[in-house]
Amino acid sequence: MPDLSSNILSALRSVLPQRDFLALHEPEFSGNERAYVTECLDTGWVSSVGKFVDRFENDLAQYTGALRAIAIVNGTAALHVCLLLAGVERDDEVLIPALTFIATANAVTYCGAIPHLCESEEATLGIDAAKLESYLQEIAEVRLNSGVLCCINKQTNRRIRALVPMHTFGLPSDLDALERVCERFGLILIEDAAESLGSFYRGAHTGTRGLLCALSFNGNKILTTGGGGAILTNDEELGKRAKHLTTTAKVPHRWEFRHDETAFNYRMPNINAALGCAQLEQLPQFLKFKRALATAYINAFANVSGVQFVREAEGSRSNYWLNAILLNKENAAQRDTILAATNDAGIMTRPAWTLMSELPMYQNCPRMNLDCAQSLEQRLINIPSSAWLGEHLKSTPEIGRTFEGAQ
């Protein structure tokens, strides 16, 4: 079996600058971040009230095309509230990918519900809609309850309430097909778009097809507020409810503290929103650089046998938040050798997440056959993806032409 490590290292070095260490994904603060944060400090508006929270929400809604955006403390909290607003209740089942970050499953559990683990497809790294439909035909029954379709798991007698696709590494899932599954089985579509700000599916921003959507602005995301997240929705009433539930359900009053239900202190501080406003101003530039970097990687790995660069599917436009390579199946056993070689060389790489089905708290959850997800977990490797790396390409004439073609 050939050793891919040296060929992969050569491909990476042909694209990346010479540095002692290259991180997987670094934030970039080259705009108005300092000015906006200083304004918060100078005025004293650093906590949950201030003009930057309102501005960030409005700017996010305008950029994504969503009717409402609600800025909150992190992406996990955003998904938790999305599920609650969708009516997910204790002992409901929620369909999620087995190949996802832990937050997707945790948010379901916060509701007292049960993650139901779904198979992935290689084309998008997201949930395989065709296999999911066949699976639900076998294990689920659709009943009409007060004029509303209700999906029941015949094996557990629990309601399957919602489907939560996650746009892996910024690659849009096949939303058309997943939406048809939801319509057929009476499921609510909620998008986990934590990784896909700036990604589009058939011309629409990810997160705007589902009833609700969760975004993340963690320090390693394409846009960061330090810690932070947001809820997107095109339903005005759900938007109002999301704002109310995430701000302790406080009833407006000039001086009294009145709260009308048990809710959450999930508010995003003004100082974090200030960072977000400055970052959002630069998002088009970040996306341009990241697509340039992805194009350079595509060229670099085109002639490396045994591995392929993971590309966006037809009809989608990825933000290429985290670039990834996928080893051929016969080379899966070399993954850890490649991870060791690249990290030893100062080029940070990492595997995909451990499948939810392999974690002790979720290993007994209901699940589909996960052969593809298991294979992907064993073969995926993330490679350096910081936006500034795409900007660096301009300094290399040959790669510079690739950069111009990616705009």
Q: Is the pLDDT of residue 7 over 80?
A: yes
**Pairing mode of beta strands 158-163, 148-153:** antiparallel
The domain defined by 5-24+283-405 carries CATH number 3.90.1150.10: yes
Closest CA to 169 of 368, 331, 353: 353
- Using 50, 70 and 90 to split pLDDT, how confident is the model at 353? very high
Closest CA to 306 of 1, 64, 35, 40: 1
In this predicted structure, what is the pLDDT of residue 407? 36
Alpha helices in 156-269 (DSSP H): 175-185, 236-246
pLDDT, the chain, mean: 95
Q: Judge whether 191 and 79 are in contact, CB under 8 Å.
A: no
User: For residue 96, what are the β-bridge partners?
Assistant: 117
Q: Is the pLDDT of residue 191 over 70?
A: yes
Does an H or E element contain 162, and which? strand 158-163
Joined together, the tokens standing for residue 149 give 């379709």
- Using 50, 70 and 90 to split pLDDT, how confident is the model at 266? very high
> CA 376 to CA 207: how far, in whole Å?
24
Joined together, the tokens standing for residue 143 give 């009943």
State the DSSP code for 272.
H
Give pLDDT tens digits for 171-184.
Answer: 999 999 999 999 99
Q: Judge whether 228 and 220 are in contact, CB under 8 Å.
A: no
The domain defined by 33-279 carries CATH number 3.40.640.10: yes
Q: Is the pLDDT of residue 133 over 50?
A: yes
Three-state SS for 315? coil
Q: Judge whether 300 and 287 are in contact, CB under 8 Å.
A: no
361-383 as b/e: b if 16+ CB within 10 A: ebeebbbbebebbbbbbbbbbbb
Taking the CA atoms of residue 252, residue 257, residue 259 and residue 262 in that order, the dihedral angle to the nearest 10 degrees is: 130
Q: Is the pLDDT of residue 82 over 70?
A: yes
Amino acid in position 325 = I
- Mean pLDDT (whole number) for 17-46: 96
- Mean pLDDT (whole number) for 44-57: 93
Closest CA to 214 of 203, 229, 199: 229
> CA 369 to CA 117: how far, in whole Å?
9
> CA 265 to CA 251: how far, in whole Å?
14
Q: Judge whether 246 and 225 are in contact, CB under 8 Å.
A: no
Give pLDDT tens digits for 304-338.
Answer: 999 999 999 999 999 999 999 999 999 999 999 99
Q: Judge whether 266 and 85 are in contact, CB under 8 Å.
A: no
- Mean pLDDT (whole number) for 117-129: 98
Phi and psi, residue 140, nearest 5°: -120, 155
Q: Is the pLDDT of residue 404 over 80?
A: no
- Mean pLDDT (whole number) for 49-57: 95
CA distances from 187 to 168, 191, 287, 315 (A): 21, 13, 33, 24
Residues of the chain with CATH 3.90.1150.10: 5-24+283-405
Sheet holding 316-317, edge to edge: 204-205, 200-201, 316-317
Q: Is the dihedral of CA 86, 91, 95, 96 positive or negative?
A: positive
Does an H or E element contain 189, and which? strand 188-192
Residues of the chain with CATH 3.40.640.10: 33-279
Q: Judge whether 335 and 305 are in contact, CB under 8 Å.
A: no
Please state at what angle helix 175-185 crosses helix 129-139, rounded to 10 degrees: 10
Q: Is the pLDDT of residue 394 over 80?
A: no
User: For residue 152, what are the β-bridge partners?
Assistant: 141, 159
In this predicted structure, what is the pLDDT of residue 306? 96
Give pLDDT tens digits for 207-256.
Answer: 999 999 999 999 999 999 999 999 999 999 999 999 999 999 999 999 99
> CA 196 to CA 200: how far, in whole Å?
8
Burial class (CB in 10 A: 0-12, 13-18, 19+), 395: exposed
In this predicted structure, what is the pLDDT of residue 400? 41
In this predicted structure, what is the pLDDT of residue 405? 38
- Using 50, 70 and 90 to split pLDDT, how confident is the model at 2? low
Please state at what angle helix 5-15 crosses helix 270-301, rounded to 10 degrees: 120
In this predicted structure, what is the pLDDT of residue 361? 98
Joined together, the tokens standing for residue 364 give 């007994």
Q: Judge whether 379 and 329 are in contact, CB under 8 Å.
A: yes
